[in-house]
Chains A and B, each alone.
Chain A
Amino acid sequence: MREASRLAVIGVGGVLGALSRAGVSQFFDQDRLELGDQSANFPWATLAINVTGAFLIGILAVALITDNSSYRKPFLITGFLGGFTTFSALALETVDLVDQGLWVTALVYLIVTVGAGLLAVNIGVRATRRVVRT
Chain B
Amino acid sequence: MSTILAISFGAFIGAPLRALVEQYVTRVRGPLTSLLLINSFGSLLAGFSIGAFSGDLRILLVIGLAGAFTTFSGWALAFTIYADALTQAGFAYSLRFARLAVAVIFATVVPVLAVWGGWLISQHASQGY
Q: Do residues A95 and B112 form an inter-chain contact, with CB atoms below 8 A? A: yes
Q: Do residues A56 and B111 form an inter-chain contact, with CB atoms below 8 A? A: no
B32 at the A interface (CB under 8 A): no
The B93-112 residues at the A interface (CB cut-off 8 A) are: 104, 108, 111-112
Closest to B16 in A: A7
Nearest CB of chain B from residue A38's CB, rounded to whole Å:
11
B123 at the A interface (CB under 8 A): no
Contacts of A21 in B (CB 8 A): 63, 67
Report how far A50 CA is from B3 CA in the complex, Å.
22
B42 at the A interface (CB under 8 A): yes
Query: How large, as a class, is the contact surface on chain B?
Result: 35 or more
- Tell which of B3, B7, B16, B114 touches A91, judged by Cβ atoms closer than 8 Å: B114
Query: How large, as a class, is the contact surface on chain A?
Result: 35 or more
Given A7-B20, A10-B19, A88-B39, A34 and B71 contact (CB-CB distance below 8 Å) = no
Nearest CB of chain A from residue B99's CB, rounded to whole Å:
14
Q: Do residues B111 and A91 form an inter-chain contact, with CB atoms below 8 A? A: yes
The A29-64 residues at the B interface (CB cut-off 8 A) are: 31, 34-36, 50, 53-54, 56-58, 61
Q: Do residues A83 and B47 form an inter-chain contact, with CB atoms below 8 A? A: no
Contacts of B74 in A (CB 8 A): 57, 77-78, 81-82, 85
Please indicate which of the listed interface residues B15, B22, B66, B104 has the most CB atoms of chain A within 10 Å of its own CB.
B15
Q: Do residues B46 and A88 form an inter-chain contact, with CB atoms below 8 A? A: yes
The B58-82 residues at the A interface (CB cut-off 8 A) are: 58-59, 62-64, 66-77, 79-80
Nearest CB of chain B from residue A63's CB, rounded to whole Å:
13
Nearest CB of chain A from residue B14's CB, rounded to whole Å:
6
Q: Do residues B7 and A92 form an inter-chain contact, with CB atoms below 8 A? A: no
Q: Do residues A82 and B15 form an inter-chain contact, with CB atoms below 8 A? A: yes
Contact with A along B3-26 (1 / 0, CB 8 A): 110011011111110111010000
State the A residues within 8 Å of B (CB).
Answer: 6-8, 10-15, 17-19, 21-22, 31, 34-36, 50, 53-54, 56-58, 61, 74, 77-79, 81-92, 94-95, 110, 113-114, 117-118, 120-122, 125
User: 9 A-B pairs, CB-CB below 8 angstroms?
Assistant: A15-B12, A18-B8, A86-B70, A91-B111, A91-B114, A91-B115, A92-B50, A117-B73, A122-B80
